[in-house]
Structure formats: C-alpha cells, structure tokens
Amino acid sequence: LSIKEDMNIVIVGHVDHGKSTIIGRLLADTGSLPKGKLEHVKETCRKNSKPFEYAFLLDALKEEQAQGITIDIARCFFKTKKRNYIILDSPGHIEFLKNMITGASRAEAALLVIDASEGIRENSRRHGYMLSMLGIKQVTVLINKMDLINYDLDVYKKVAYNFSKFLKKIDMNVTSFIPVSGLKGDNIAFSSKNMDWYKGKTVLEMLDNFKTGRKLTDKPFRMPVQGVYKFTKDGDTRRIIAGTVMSGKLKVGDEVIFYPSGKKSKVKSIEAFNKDKQIMSEAGSATGFTLEEQIYITRGEVASILNEQKPRITSRIRTNIFWLGKEPMIKNKKYYFKLGTAKVSVKLEKIISVMNSSTLEHKNKEKIEKYEVAECILKLDRAIAFDLTQDIVQMSRFVLVDDYKISGGGIICEDLEDKETWV
Ligand code: GDP
C-alpha cells in the first residue's frame, strides 16, 4: 500500500490568458470534481443560454467554499496516479506573494500561462521574475489557446523562443514549454491529436515529473514560533510551542535553541496536530512541542537545534525586493517587515540598483516604484533570525507592509553588520 504524496503548485500568468480554464480542465479531466459538478454547471449554462466555460467550474467551487460546503478554502485539488496536487489560487501579484511568503503552504512548482494569440505581456514577464526571485525552480510555461492559432508550430516556436530568451536573462532555467488549449483540452491531461509536431509531455506528465520539496528535511531545523499555548494532558498543565515547520526535523530529546533570544531547552514531547509522532518533520506541517524546562519564548522567534547550523541574526540586511505598492518605496519612511512569524518595523537604508521587472531596464534612482525590483539595504528596528536565500529560501522570504497593505516582498541575500542608528 502506498500513500500518495501531495504537491503544492501555483498557476500564474496575465489576466485572461487562461489560468482558470486550465485549472477547470485539470480538475475535470482527472475526475477530481465533486460528483455531478460538471453536469450541473453545464446545465446552468444551458438554462441561462450562455456557453459553458471550464473557468465556471472554479467559480462554482469557490461559491461552495464560501457557503462552507467544502472544507478547504481557496484551494483546489486534483489527483493523478502519482500525487495529489493542491493549486494555490493566486489571482494577482499580491495574492501570489502572500501565498508564497505568508501562506501556510508554499508552491513547489509553477505553471506560467501565456496566450499564444496575444503573446507575451508585461505580467508574463513579471510573474516569471517573481518565480525566479522566490526560488521556484520547477516551472513549465504553457503556451495556451493553440486552437486560436490553428495549432501553428511557427507561432508557438516564436512565443516560446522569445520567452525563453527573457527567462535566461533573469537566470531562470525553464526546461519545458508545452503548447496547450485549455478550452479544447489539448495536451493538458491527454496528448493532443491536433499537434502531431509536439512529441513532449502533457501538463499532467510534466507535473508528475517534478520533484516534491521533501529534501527540505535534510536542511537544519527551523520553526518560526507562532505562539505558546497552555494545555492539559494527563492532569498536567504544559506549554506547547506551536508553529509551522519550515525545514529540517526535530525529535524528542533534541536540544532546541530559540533565536534571536538564544534561550534553550530539551524537547520533552512532540504534539503534532494531525498525528502523534516521536519525530516531527514534514516541512509545511503545523505542529508543536513541549520543553523540559519552562522558558519564556515569544512569537517571532525561530526554533532551531543547538548542534545544527544556526540561522543568521542581525538587523541589517542586503535584499532583493519586488515592490507592488501604489506609493513608491522611499527612504526615511517606516514600513513593516514580516518574515516567518516575526514582524518588525523597517526602513530603506540604501538602494543599490533598481530595475523594471518586465523590461529589465536599469535605473539609477532614489525610490522604488510599482513593479520595480531593487537590490537594497534594509535596516530593521531590531534583530531577527533568518537564513539566506542560498541556504534555506523559505527562511529568507519576507513581505513588506505599507499602511496595513502588503506592498512588496523579497528575499535576503546577505546579513550585514548591525549598526546602532536607525537611518
Ligand atoms: P484567466 O484570467 O487567466 O483565469 O483566464 P480565463 O481562464 O478566465 O480565460 C479567459 C478567456 O479565454 C475565457 O473566455 C476562456 O474561455 C478563454 N480561453 C481560455 N483558454 C482558452 C483556449 O485554450 N482557447 C480559446 N479559444 N479560448 C480560451
């Protein structure tokens, strides 16, 4: 008996290029829809005399979720023989950043959709840039709406060639492009009969070929502390340190150390919320543990293991950020910085370079505008624990909040010496 593994994927691309249609197709063609759903949506369309769209399936599912009929919110599932796939719904840039950085589950692979008849748009490039920056290496580009261009090889080649040129410039090694039609179902779950010239994989085959992020368990243990809760077990009152595992594994008896405080103690018990286990691992799982001694830990600290590689701790960092705020990011203004469960105020200390994420044009500027990416130095109000992007990318991703709104995100490239002053 084999237990199927899960994989989180994200589908991005310019609006109207066919994301929802492809998701609808994936659900329908893998038989992953609730019973009777497809017929029901088709029937509703017939009654309202409007043509059926696969994208409606998504709307119908969302409606159900809103009414609380299905358990899970803002997520779609489909299954192949090999895996269960969870699609993180990311209608826009901000949602995408949120999902990638603050969301409980993070994408391990991405599908980037481009409309063959319309070609590459700014958002195709921006999304490509974001995937690359956030360290999502398993990406397949779907050249969609092939039916609209008569399944023409030359058009496909041109779009794929131009986009791969852009991706190369941003150091993204996308290995695969697939010509598809979400509308007709070509090369999504089944090989297309309309494109004899294409000998590669279908979307499902490509996804099944990707690797899951389980190798994160080989990394040092990291669990940002979500909170400390009291509970009673066998008549004993205990304090459980709760959070979501970002990487590595922990077992009873391990000496844990919390950063930045440096407080430590031995693990007494592991209290996984879903299963009772002696070893807790599985990056992405919500879990908790109790300690031998009662030490005072607060939200925002990072639990790690004493004799493993420790996280970096500082209040000054060199970062790559992606700015999405309406107002440009400027110096001398206070923003909030969120990484893991830590939230601190931050200021922009220095801009090293600024670039447009779509045209890749460099500018020499004093502020960072919407859709620009910048290499810059940030000064945090106090030291926090994190890792660099080349070590544990999940522990280096952060979001920036301006006026209560998520306005940007990024990764930490270098830990710099702390300086007392706040610029
Ligand atoms: P999204 O905004 O990226 O989610 O795009 P949708 O999935 O909502 O699709 C936008 C429009 O393009 C809808 O009217 C779809 O029916 C249409 N569309 C999507 N995929 C295809 C395709 O493969 N072929 C054709 N002809 N139309 C498509």
pLDDT of residue 246: 87
Confidence of residue 352 (pLDDT cuts 50, 70, 90): very high
Confidence of residue 71 (pLDDT cuts 50, 70, 90): very low
Average pLDDT, the chain: 88
In this predicted structure, the answer to whether residue 229 has a pLDDT above a threshold of 60 is yes
Q: Distance from the CA of 235 to the center of ligand 1, in angstroms?
A: 58
Is the Cβ–Cβ distance between 85 and 203 less than 8 Å? no
**Cα separations (Å) of 336 from 106, 394, 408?**
22, 19, 10
Q: Regarding predicted confidence, which is higher, 306 or 247?
A: 306
Planar angle of CA 307, 313, 314, nearest 5 degrees: 165
Q: Distance from the CA of 66 to the center of ligand 1, in angstroms?
A: 24
pLDDT of residue 211: 86
Confidence of residue 101 (pLDDT cuts 50, 70, 90): confident
Which residue in this structure is represented by tokens 């190369």? 168
Confidence of residue 273 (pLDDT cuts 50, 70, 90): low
Q: Distance from the CA of 331 to the center of ligand 1, in angstroms?
A: 42
pLDDT of residue 313: 96
Task: Give the residues surrounding ligand 1 with Cβ less than 6 Å away.
Answer: 13, 15-21, 53, 55, 144-145, 147-148, 181-183
Q: Distance from the CA of 360 to the center of ligand 1, in angstroms?
A: 28
**What would the mean pLDDT of 248-262 be, rounded to a whole number?**
93
d(CA 412, CA 378): 10
d(CA 176, CA 180): 13
Is the Cβ–Cβ distance between 399 and 102 less than 8 Å? yes
Q: Looking at residue 214, what DSSP letter applies?
A: G
pLDDT of residue 144: 98
Q: Distance from the CA of 30 to the center of ligand 1, in angstroms?
A: 19
Closest CA to 244 of 302, 285, 289: 285
- Residue 184 Cα: closest atom of ligand 1: 23
Q: Which of 16, 19, 21, 124 to mutate to test the pocket of ligand 1 (most atoms within 8 A of CB)?
A: 21
d(CA 112, CA 117): 15
pLDDT of residue 171: 85
Structure tokens at 107: 């994408």
- Residue 182 Cα: closest atom of ligand 1: 23
First to last CA, the chain: 60
Q: Measuring from atom 18 of ligand 1, which residue has the nearest CA?
A: 18
**What would the mean pLDDT of 353-358 be, rounded to a whole number?**
91
Q: Which of 89-93, 101-105, 293-297, 344-348 has the highest mean pLDDT?
A: 344-348
**What would the mean pLDDT of 317-329 be, rounded to a whole number?**
95
Q: Distance from the CA of 256 to the center of ligand 1, in angstroms?
A: 50
